[in-house]
Structure 1
Amino acid sequence: MKQTFYILSILLLLNSCKASKIKIEKINFKTEYKFSSEIENKVSTDTVPWKYQISAAEYATKGDYKNALIHWDLAMRAGQKEYSRNQVDSINQAYTKVNASDYIIEQAKKNQVIIINEAHHNSHHRVFTKSLLQKLYDKGYTNLGLEALGNGEYLDSTLNNRKYPILTTGHYIKDPQFGNLVRDALEIGYNLFAYENFTKGNGKQREIEQAKNIQQVIDSKPNEKFLIHCGFDHALEGTHQSWEKAMAGRLTEYTGINPLTINQVMYSEKSNSKFNHPLLKALDVKEPTIIIDKKNNPFKYERKDAWSDIAVFHPSTNFVDNRPNWLFKNGNKKVSITLNDIQLEFPVMVLAYKKEEDINLAVPIDIVEVLNKKENCNLGLKKGYYEIVVTNGKESFKFEHKVK
């Protein structure tokens, strides 16, 4: 009996070792995502005035939130402004902080259309909108319009059936966090639709065409509810300084519907907290927050004769190995990837794909660039099966990884 037990123990140990051995496969793989050195080289030689706006979006696309903020602040020439102690005290006495998600979901009951904006360099805005999806769906919001979706000749016509975004689905959707917003929406059951205007010029005409495209979808489903995710000023109601009316204002004009408009751009963190809006500094929020006055009215974002109904105040990010802490929340786990067994010249890019998705087409679930073998490699992933691709642009390897 003893001998049998020892043999079984050895066999189990051998099988266990065999099972834990990762199969690493060399593959032909090309990625559109740029290494930091490529982005920096381009910035150093580019002569266009908006070069830092481009590089900020490129950093966001490759999952580098920290550098996206830095480059955006270089583009905007961020400066410092402070409130006095008395002003800070007055603000905190005049307003009560409430959880932004809870407040928006409560207001959603009274509305048919919600419009929420983003800054195109800020992945956290996409993560916040994603965090609202299930709760809004439960309140009847079944249609999601995304400005970032290609339209017209660029339309990804098979997206709703395929159930995951690919690199041609939309320029900004290449950001893994935007891709995950799309994935989650499709998984929940949303009907996704494009509304961007790719045929007629910028400015006023663009706002008109965007609103008309949304109007057509609303008219075809008059009893359904809609969530619209747009960029920057498109969420403004009232009179716009340059466009007469932004998309949100035009939509009211064409449909008679007064949307709930949400601005999460103005009061978001900068690359350095000293550049944060003084109101954001004064409130010192610890979670996405909306503030309400003594009459229970929410604080609006206002700019001259234009406004959004609600302003969201986002907290400052804490970083874990240069990765934002919010990446490891809302069902995501911090997953450490070991690169010791892969013989590649660094830096490398590590991309995680859902097992059933095509790694040559799909938007990855997460991306991180690792400069050397001493650096920790952490990905934000849900439970499930993944294919991990490691590439330095010349050579590439892949292996499977299960997140329990």
Structure 2
Amino acid sequence: MQKLQEAEKRAGSLAIFGKITKLREEERDDLLNQKGGALQYLGTMRAMAGDADGAAQVFSWWRQLKQPEVVNPEARTALEKAIPEDAIRAIVRAARTRQIVILNEAHHIPEQRVFAMQLAHELKKIGFEYLACETFDEKIPVPMPDGHVSTSTGFYSKEPMFAAFLRSAHQDGWKLVGYDNMIGSEAAETAEERQRLRELGAATNLFQRVFEKNIKARVFIYVGYSHASKTPAFQSPTTFAWLAAHLKHQLNTDPLTVDQSAMFSYGNPKAEHPLYRTAIEQQNVNSAFVLKAPNGNYEVLSDYRGRMDMQVFHPDHSKISATGRPEWMQIVAKLKPRHVPADLLPSSGRRLIQAYFADEGTDSVPVDMVMVEAGKPAPMLMLPKGNFRFRFEE
């Protein structure tokens, strides 16, 4: 709650964002420079507090402030000729001949962590054994030795769906690995150099913590955005390359790289990728899919085209259901609604209501969270099977 309040204060009044479509280009540029970072932070904290819809709203504003992505004419033609395939089945089939699978995410979209959890469950069945996640604290080479997801496990894993992903991975027997290199890159004088050192250090950590022990180890790596890009190709330790390109060079193997950070709904078509709505309406598929080209390869339609191998399209499940929560929580995550206990509802102001597994302590990441405001209908908690206890933060 404190972090969310800090993010709200940093973002300030949000009224201006209701007028984005009326702003001139230079006004949007100025607003992005002034509040772009604050919007990203607010969106991330809203997602962590269980407000997936609010997070998507904030990032839809951020997307509308940025210059629209220019659609590659080849991508538009490719969409017309492609056919959909179930994303999980297609990725697993392609992964059978690969040593490394790298999947990215948009950090503010918890639904994508549900997809990662489902994919990890299937990859484990075909011999993948190490799961490396960007969230883990780099100072802890072997996270969660007892399977407990605490608030100190990592930054992004404080969000309930990420915690559910990690609990599931532990139950499936994955060997968890921390690899990110934020500390080692902090001394850099420029943002570009900091990013170069981060990618190089991340690849080095993975090599030392996994591949030096077993050069043939099969690894699923869960990252944010462009870390999964194989271009620019590695040239030398002093030139820039993303994590995927480093691993391709160091191990002489071609990682299967999958984007899911571009083709999804923000709940606002004006913020979506220009080809997203066409793709989901054309394919008329109700679960995550990839697009297969006539030549047997897979299509990537965003600016990751030529940089990643596959691209996941998430159907639009952003609509708010009768529970007061996005419908993907029932359709995709298979969670069940439960009313907030009446004795926890505030008589004034607002409260962050948190549900925990009954046998976990207060240092655990909640199973779900909802913000409740006095005098307004309370969103329902969305929970898996189990016994729970509840607490709140003012």
Q: Same fold (TM over 0.5)?
A: yes
2:196 to 204, 209, 232: 204
Superposed CA deviations along residues 242-267 of structure 1, whole A, max 9, x for unmatched, are 96310100111111121000011122
State the partner residue of 1:358. 361
Is contact 2:320-2:326 (8 Å) kept?
Answer: yes
TM-fit CA distance, 1:372 = 3.2
Superposed CA deviations along residues 324-353 of structure 1, whole A, max 9, x for unmatched, are 222224564322224333464342222111
State the partner residue of 1:96. 83
Q: What SS class does the counterpart of residue 369 from structure 1 fall into? A: strand
Is contact 2:229-2:304 (8 Å) kept?
Answer: no
Q: Which moved more, 1:242-251 or 1:62-71?
A: 242-251
Q: What SS class does the counterpart of residue 300 from structure 1 fall into? A: coil
Is contact 1:267-1:314 (8 Å) kept?
Answer: yes
Query: One-letter code of the match for 1:55?
Result: L
Q: What SS class does the counterpart of residue 227 from structure 1 fall into? A: strand
Residues 186/214 of structure 1: CA separation in 2 closer, same or farther (3 Å cut): same
Is contact 1:56-1:67 (8 Å) kept?
Answer: yes
Task: Tell whether 2:345 aligns with 1:327.
Answer: no
Superposed CA deviations along residues 154-210 of structure 1, whole A, max 9, x for unmatched, are x385x4322121111111111111111111111111111100112224221111111
- Find the structure with the greater CA-based Rg: 1
Query: One-letter code of the match for 1:70?
Result: Q
Task: Tell whether 2:163 aligns with 1:179.
Answer: yes
Task: Tell whether 2:33 aligns with 1:40.
Answer: no
State the partner residue of 2:215. 222
State the partner residue of 1:311. 311
Spell out the pairing of 1:242-321 with structure 2 (5 A cutoff).
244-284=240-280, 285-300=285-300, 303=303, 307-317=307-317, 318-320=319-321, 321=323
State the partner residue of 2:30. none
Is contact 2:265-2:315 (8 Å) kept?
Answer: yes
Query: One-letter code of the match for 1:296?
Result: G
Q: What SS class does the counterpart of residue 312 from structure 1 fall into? A: strand
Superposition TM-score, scaled by structure 2 size: 0.81
Residues 60/258 of structure 1: CA separation in 2 closer, same or farther (3 Å cut): same
Unaligned runs of 5+ in 1: 1-30, 394-404
Using the alignment, how far apart are the partners of 2:3 and 2:369 within structure 1?
Answer: 9
Residues 243/48 of structure 1: CA separation in 2 closer, same or farther (3 Å cut): farther
Q: How many residues align?
A: 352
State the partner residue of 2:60. 73
Query: One-letter code of the match for 2:84?
Result: K
Calculate percent identity across the aligned residue pairs: 24
| Structure whose residues are more often strand by fraction | 1
2:101 to 114, 122, 126: 114
Q: What SS class does the counterpart of residue 274 from structure 1 fall into? A: helix
Q: Which moved more, 1:342-351 or 1:137-146?
A: 342-351
Superposition TM-score, scaled by structure 1 size: 0.79
Residues 243/172 of structure 1: CA separation in 2 closer, same or farther (3 Å cut): farther
Is contact 1:149-1:196 (8 Å) kept?
Answer: yes
Unaligned runs of 5+ in 2: 15-33, 189-193
Using the alignment, how far apart are the partners of 2:269 and 2:13 within structure 1?
Answer: 29
Query: Alignment RMSD, CA only?
Result: 2.8
Using the alignment, how far apart are the partners of 2:11 and 2:357 within structure 1?
Answer: 33
